[in-house]
Chains A and B, each alone.
Chain A
Amino acid sequence: DGGITQSPKYLFRKEGQNVTLSCEQNLNHDAMYWYRQDPGQGLRLIYYSQIVNDFQKGDIAEGYSVSREKKESFPLTVTSAQKNPTAFYLCASSILGGNTGELFFGEGSRLTVL
């Protein structure tokens, strides 16, 4: 079945460590996105990519990095520079190259920093 797969679902990290969250889609979507979700807040955009080998910063890109080497994959690295990384991270994709279309979300990855 087509969809978006995020892994791991749960991740624990010690302070000072980098971690990478995986996002894979087999929907043949051009655009992919990473959002951060904190309790009581809407989803905030970290990075997005409309095409392979190109990506743009969102509102809260500091402390995060991404790559888009393949159309299907858009991994997110949470670096040690991110001061408050504990959150629920959501990956999404859309058909349109722009951001006017519907977003299809993965099931999320919950990162906890110990």
Chain B
Amino acid sequence: GQQLNQSPQSMFIQEGEDVSMNCTSSSIFNTWLWYKQDPGEGPVLLIALYKAGELTSNGRLTAQFGITRKDSFLNISASIPSDVGIYFCAGPPEYNNNDMRFGAGTRLTVKP
């Protein structure tokens, strides 16, 4: 099945820097979800987006649902060491609401 294209695959940044990652698809999505996974744990939902153009914040995290409905962005401002983990985008394509797709993840490392 089709997967989402998530980039970058990994990031190594200094504490205090801002981070940006994105997710694209060739299909239209009705929902975009961003999850964070700590090592050896299950993913935890960070932000959910339900409308094209929607911009939603959760503390230092901001995500946007692209106008074309084929992409989404997640930004993290002023990164801290506990931001370390894998970030996944996810969503069901419009043609099949029963089919949740996941990106391959962006592995974030924050150096103190």
Chain A residues at the B interface, C-beta cutoff of 8 Å: 4, 6, 33, 35, 40-45, 48, 50, 56, 59, 90, 92, 98-100, 102-108, 110
Contact = CB atoms under 8 A, between A and B. Distances in A.
Nearest to A48: B98
A108 B41 contact: yes
B98 A98 contact: yes
Interface stretch (B1-9, B11-19, B57-65, B73-81): B1-9
B42 A42 contact: no
B99 interface: yes
Contact of B100 (A6, A41, A99): A99
Interface in B1-44: 1, 3-4, 6, 9, 30-31, 33, 35, 40-44
A106 B100 CA distance: 17
Contact of A105 (B43, B48, B92, B104): B43
Interface of B: 1, 3-4, 6, 9, 30-31, 33, 35, 40-45, 48, 88, 90, 92, 97-105
A99 B45 contact: no
B40 A99 contact: no
B104 A40 contact: yes
Contacts of B48: 102
A32 to B, nearest CB: 12
B7 to A, nearest CB: 13
A100 B43 contact: no
A108 B33 CA distance: 19
B24 to A, nearest CB: 13
A100 B31 contact: yes
Contact of A42 (B3, B33, B41): B3
Given A98-B97, A99-B99, A42 B104 contact: yes
A103 B104 contact: no
- A44, A48, A105, A107: which has the most chain B beta carbons within 10 Å? A105
19 contacts: A6-B42, A42-B101, A42-B103, A42-B104, A43-B88, A43-B102, A45-B1, A45-B99, A45-B100, A50-B98, A98-B92, A102-B45, A103-B45, A105-B44, A106-B42, A107-B40, A107-B41, A108-B40, A108-B41
